[in-house]
Amino acid sequence: MKRILTAVLLIPLVVATVLYAPAWLFLAVLSAVALVCFHEWDEIVSSYGIPRAGPVGYAAGLLLLTAPRADLALVTALALIALVLAMRLADLAQGLPRVSAMLLGMVYVFGCWRCAPLLRSINPHWLMFGMAVNWIGDIAAFYVGSAVGRHRLAPRVSPKKSWEGAIGSALAAAALGVAYLRWAMPQVPLWEAAALAVTVNVAGQVGDLAESAIKRGAGVKDSSNLLPGHGGWLDRVDSTLFGLPVLYFLLARPW
């Protein structure tokens, strides 16, 4: 019940922010969510015995998220600055683990979230689509897996996930993706809508497993307890963090 109530409260707020909020408010909300996610990442990292990133990590992450241009040059500059600052640590043996965890967390959280305003700039419905196919996929995976799941998907990483749940997730994502784009952007061919939905959903499922593996390695169950029934924000958006970059890559076609 807590899981359902939390979703009922959050979904309308997310939809309103994505589709109707002015750009400054959208970016402010996105920055707040990214900061919370990075804090939870930092907590997981500390469970490995690696020092937390501290204010430098948060500031660098916000720069990566909000800079007018966030290309390879910026990421390289941030990496070099982090290496220089690591020389100030009392225990130099902690320098490389700390910098590595901070940079990975920055790219994982702030870098992936940067794709949200990029998708919104193309069309807000693309961002809503990218998030929705993972929402419905998570729900379908849970209920289909609970009902008919027999074959374990990744038992070492997440023992409760099943192939049946994963397939149900992809099918639900395809159905919702086609219906949503048929309503929001009818010019998108049905086959393309279905293909995009399944691709983004599969990326999201991989993202879910990736975060589960990191938590299992750290010996923690949830990234936090901020969202009743869901765990933490990172637990809730782990699939989105993988799905949005894939969707943007497919739509922007940088190749």
Q: Where are the domains of the chain?
A: 2-252
Instruction: For residue 4, name the pLDDT band (cuts at 50, 70, 90).
Output: low
Instruction: Give the helix/strand (H/E) hosting 153.
Output: strand 152-154
Region 76-105: mean pLDDT is: 87
Which residue in this structure is represented by tokens 């995009």?
196
The gap from C-alpha 249 to its chain's centroid, in whole angstroms, comes to: 15
Region 73-91: mean pLDDT is: 85
pLDDT (tens digit per residue) in 181-202: 999 999 999 999 999 999 999 9
162 or 224, which is more confident: 162
Sign of the Cα torsion 208, 209, 210, 216 reads positive
Region 2-23: mean pLDDT is: 84
pLDDT (tens digit per residue) in 46-69: 999 998 888 889 999 999 999 988
- What the block records as the tokens of 147 is 């009902």
How many Cβ atoms from other residues are within 10 Å of residue 94's Cβ?
14
57 or 228, which is more confident: 57
pLDDT at 102 over 80: yes
Closest by Cα among 147, 183, 149 to 166: 149
Residue 158: the pLDDT is 87
Residue 8: the pLDDT is 73
HSE (side-chain half, CA atoms, 13 Å) at 132: 22
pLDDT at 254 over 70: no
d(CA 75, CA 157) in angstroms, rounded, equals 30
CA distance to 15, 72, 155, 197, per residue, from 128 (Å): 7, 27, 31, 12
